[in-house]
């Protein structure tokens, strides 16, 4: 079920992460700045990632392509937060 998967955009640094966050805001694509999940941290040196909704993934990719935005990877992970108990997005 798509609700159970989270998409994290990963970055090499905050500069790339915050730049893409601003671009997504301009395109009205919802994204939340979230800590990079520990299991994804091995390859990146940035503690922030962008958490995006599964239904927005194509729009995000289009936004990245349009602006030539830098990012490390997009990772899909099972949801880290119990959404029935805690606020998530």
- Can you give the binding site for another protein, defined by CB under 8 A? 12-16, 18-19, 33-36, 41-42, 44-48
CB of 14 to another protein, least distance (A): 5
Q: Which is nearer to another protein, 1 or 52 (CB)?
A: 52
Q: Which is nearer to another protein, 1 or 86 (CB)?
A: 86
Q: Which is nearer to another protein, 9 or 48 (CB)?
A: 48
What is the Cα–Cα distance from 25 to 2, expressed in whole angstroms? 23
What is the Cα–Cα distance from 19 to 1, expressed in whole angstroms? 30
For helices 14-26 and 57-67, angle between their N-to-C axes, nearest 10 degrees: 110
What is the Cα–Cα distance from 8 to 73, expressed in whole angstroms? 8
CB of 82 to another protein, least distance (A): 19
CB of 85 to another protein, least distance (A): 19
């Amino acid at each position: 079920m798509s609700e159970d998967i989270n998409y994290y955009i990963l970055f090499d640094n905050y500069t790339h992460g915050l730049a893409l966050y601003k671009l997504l805001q301009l395109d009205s694509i919802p994204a939340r700045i979230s800590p990079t999940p520990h299991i994804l941290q091995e390859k990146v040196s940035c503690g922030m990632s962008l958490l995006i909704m599964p239904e927005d993934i194509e729009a995000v990719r289009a936004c990245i392509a349009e602006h030539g935005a830098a990012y490390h990877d997009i990772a899909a992970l099972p949801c880290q937060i119990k959404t029935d108990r805690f606020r998530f997005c």
